[in-house]
Amino acid sequence: MKEISTVKLDTDILIIGGGAAGCMAAIEAKKLDQSIKCVVMEKAHIERSGCLAMGLNAINAYLTTGQTPETYVKYVKDEFFGIIREDLVYSIAKGLNESVRQVEELGLPVEKDQNGDYMSRGKSSIRIYGERLKPILAAAVNRANVKVLNRVVATNFIFDGERVRGAYGFGNRDGKFYVVHAKVVIVTTGGATRLYKPIKTGDARNTTWYCPWNVGTGYAMGIRIGAEMTSFENRFIPLRVKGVNAPTGTIAQGSDIRQRNALGEEYLEERYKHLGGRKCLSLYRLLATLQEEKAGRGPCYLDTTCLSVEEEKKLKEVYLNMNPAIVLLWANEGYNPRKRPVEIGGMEPVVIGGHCQAGYWIDGERRTTISGLFAAGDVAGGAPKKYVSGAWVEGKIAAKAAVEEIGKIELLHINGEEVNKEKERIVCCMNGREGISPEELERNLQEIMDEYAGGATAHYELTESKLIIARKKVKELEGKLGLLSAGDKHGLVSCLELIDRFDVAKVLIEHLIYRKETRWPGFQIRTDFPERDDANWLGFVNSVYDPVEDRVIIIKRALKKENEYLYK
């Protein structure tokens, strides 16, 4: 085994993941106190990392004219059938517009009408020219004198059993082992994808919607130290444009576009009027589309043939800002959307706290249940529909609380034995033995999840009997993790990412088993418990992992009023 060298760093605040939430947290921390030391640990390069790498074309959480934080909370609560953390959503809603103005100030061009007002795209969304949103945020982080460790993959928290004291990382370029001690850590690593078999396979396996390098490491690190997680069963299944997995909201929102099946029927109006028809909740759009397919009336389309020439041009422009591949797809097929409707379908499920609400159980200040650790953005739970602007707000809230905390905390170094343990865990896949490649194990995990834990092949449907098989098979497969073998640094990172996904999958399966009702049709369909059951299930399913027993312990938490959530 090759010896790898160690880099040691001390800081006041360590932010793990320099995406939407992480960048904003760093900027805010330095704004509140220029003198504090702040480090961002980022597995890619903050200039184009995470979900924002391609760019964005809208801010999907914004209070347009007439909306208030109260109306926003109601809208989110209705979409999630009563289960949300109202306190968290409310605190996000209050900060949305200010955070957008702040990013506009940093250089983001926002579309405006003749009066200079933001152009809305539906009730809670505005249009932006966001192709370079990530470089704009990165520039602001750099200007703020934040130390950024690009290409360092966080692997575990430094944890002394009481408090998080920093994090370990692996430099995927320099091959070094990083030990960063901090007074306070904010985790902002995004959600978890690549748990399920992807819709596209082979060379197209990573053309997924969600950033394929957000694999849930932030969840896994928390799970391993016993942090409480919430609502993993509230997975997200995006309705996407087939072939490129581009978001459909860009086409559908704020315009008069109809969803049609293969027979040309406007199925939402004809068959799903009781769910709201054309104006239904977004998860019913998915559900209805899946049901049409199942009934043999697929494929389904967004009927873009009604677009005017100008609208079509605008549509291409907004996609170039966010998912340029779709424009290439149209060019290649030789059809423009005006000539041919756009085919849509479901994608593989993802676990995220920014669209749905899987993530760390946090208090109003974004403190997790482990001292010294805050969470914000897609990795934080309980507050769905936060999107990019909600991630910004959460980053700011967490930074404020973190800055207040550092004054009271002494920086403590963990003993060398613990450090060596993590180092050994990391390099053990690099011992040159003949083993299993991460790719092979990944395929196996994804097959199990797909078939037994409600993937696309299983029409996203869940039953207890299948989930129990998933639990058993994942556990068996987990036994093979010890045989993982990596040829180089990149392979090593793939091994670590896979180990993390096993931890996330295990928790996900337990959550899916536990909720014995269908709360979020489309996202969480229990065919053995097809009804919503408010009498028994109007509350949160949370969990804590016990590493000694290798057991996920479920905690049921009731919905409470806003201020009752402060558990510390």
Partner 1 sequence: MSIFINKNVCNGCGKLKETLCERICPGDLLFRNAAHKAEIRSQADCWTCGACVKACPVQAIDLKLPSQILKSNVSLRAQCKKQHTVWEIRNGNGIKEEFVIPATTGNEAK
Contact with partner 1 (CB under 8 A) among 8, 74, 112, 173: 173
Contact with partner 1 (CB under 8 A) among 263, 328, 468, 553: 328
* Residue 396 to residue 229: CA distance in whole angstroms: 21
* Residue 223 to residue 190: CA distance in whole angstroms: 15
Among ligand FAD, partner 1, none, the one that 487 touches (CB under a kind-dependent 5 to 8 A) is none
Span of 197-205, 461-469, 476-484, 540-548 interacting with partner 1 by CB under 8 A: 197-205
CB nearer partner 1, residue 84 or residue 149: 149
Task: Answer for the pair 543, 510: CB distance below 8 angstroms, yes or no.
Answer: yes
Structural element, H or E, at residue 423: helix 416-427
232 binds ligand FAD (CB under 6 A): no
Q: What residue type is assigned to position 246 of the chain?
A: A
CB nearer ligand FAD, residue 158 or residue 470: 158
Task: Answer for the pair 61, 389: CB distance below 8 angstroms, yes or no.
Answer: yes
Q: Are strands 373-375 and 177-187 parallel, antiparallel or unpaired?
A: parallel
CB nearer ligand FAD, residue 106 or residue 275: 106
Phi-psi region of 366 (alpha: psi -120 to 50; beta: other; left: phi over 0): left
Contact with ligand FAD (CB under 6 A) among 16, 141, 146, 552: 16
113 binds partner 1 (CB under 8 A): no
List C-alpha distances in Å: 131 to 84, 107, 318.
Answer: 31, 12, 9
Task: Answer for the pair 148, 141: CB distance below 8 angstroms, yes or no.
Answer: yes
Which residues share a beta bridge with 148?
40
CB nearer ligand FAD, residue 112 or residue 472: 112
Torsion of CA 365, 367, 369, 372, to 10 degrees: -150
Contact with ligand FAD (CB under 6 A) among 50, 346, 381, 455: 50
391 binds ligand FAD (CB under 6 A): yes
Task: Answer for the pair 438, 487: CB distance below 8 angstroms, yes or no.
Answer: no
Q: What residue type is assigned to position 121 of the chain?
A: R
DSSP string, 278-330: GG--HHHHHHHHHHHHHTT---EEEEGGG--HHHHHHHHHHHHTT-THHHHHH
172 binds partner 1 (CB under 8 A): yes
44 binds partner 1 (CB under 8 A): yes
Among ligand FAD, partner 1, none, the one that 173 touches (CB under a kind-dependent 5 to 8 A) is partner 1
* Beta strand spans in 401-462 (E): 461-462
Residue 117 DSSP label: P
Structural element, H or E, at residue 154: strand 152-159
CB nearer partner 1, residue 106 or residue 559: 106
State which of positions 55-114 bind ligand FAD (CB under 6 A).
56-60
Among partner 1, ligand FAD, none, the one that 17 touches (CB under a kind-dependent 5 to 8 A) is ligand FAD
Structural element, H or E, at residue 439: helix 438-452
45 binds partner 1 (CB under 8 A): yes
144 binds partner 1 (CB under 8 A): no
Instruction: Return the number of other C-beta atoms located less than 10 Å from residue 488's C-beta.
Output: 11
Span of 7-15, 77-85, 103-111, 475-483 interacting with partner 1 by CB under 8 A: 103-111
Q: How many helices (H) and strands (E) does the chain have?
A: 16, 20
Contact with ligand FAD (CB under 6 A) among 217, 234, 261, 524: 217
297-326 mask for partner 1 (x: CB under 8 A)? -------------------xx--xx--xx-
Phi-psi region of 543 (alpha: psi -120 to 50; beta: other; left: phi over 0): beta
Residue 240 DSSP label: E
Q: How far is the CB of 313 from ligand FAD (least distance, A)?
A: 19
* Residue 270 to residue 265: CA distance in whole angstroms: 7
| CA-based end-to-end distance of the chain | 45
* Residue 45 to residue 38: CA distance in whole angstroms: 17
How long is the chain?
A: 568
420-459 mask for ligand FAD (x: CB under 6 A)? ----------------------------------------
Span of 15-23, 103-111, 404-412, 463-471 interacting with ligand FAD by CB under 6 A: 15-23
Among ligand FAD, partner 1, none, the one that 462 touches (CB under a kind-dependent 5 to 8 A) is none
438-477 mask for partner 1 (x: CB under 8 A)? ----------------------------------------
Contact with partner 1 (CB under 8 A) among 3, 203, 531, 549: 203
529 binds ligand FAD (CB under 6 A): no
47 binds partner 1 (CB under 8 A): yes
Lookup: tokens for 527? 């065919």
Q: How far is the CB of 562 from ligand FAD (least distance, A)?
A: 23
Query: Which stretches of the chain bind ligand FAD, using CB under 6 A?
Result: 16-22, 41-44, 49-52, 54, 56-60, 153-154, 188-190, 209-211, 213-214, 217, 247, 322, 354, 377-379, 387-389, 391
Query: Which stretches of the chain bind partner 1, using CB under 8 A?
Result: 43-45, 47-50, 53-54, 104-109, 129, 131-132, 135-136, 139-140, 151, 172-173, 200, 202-208, 211-213, 243-244, 316-317, 320-321, 324-325, 327-334, 490, 493
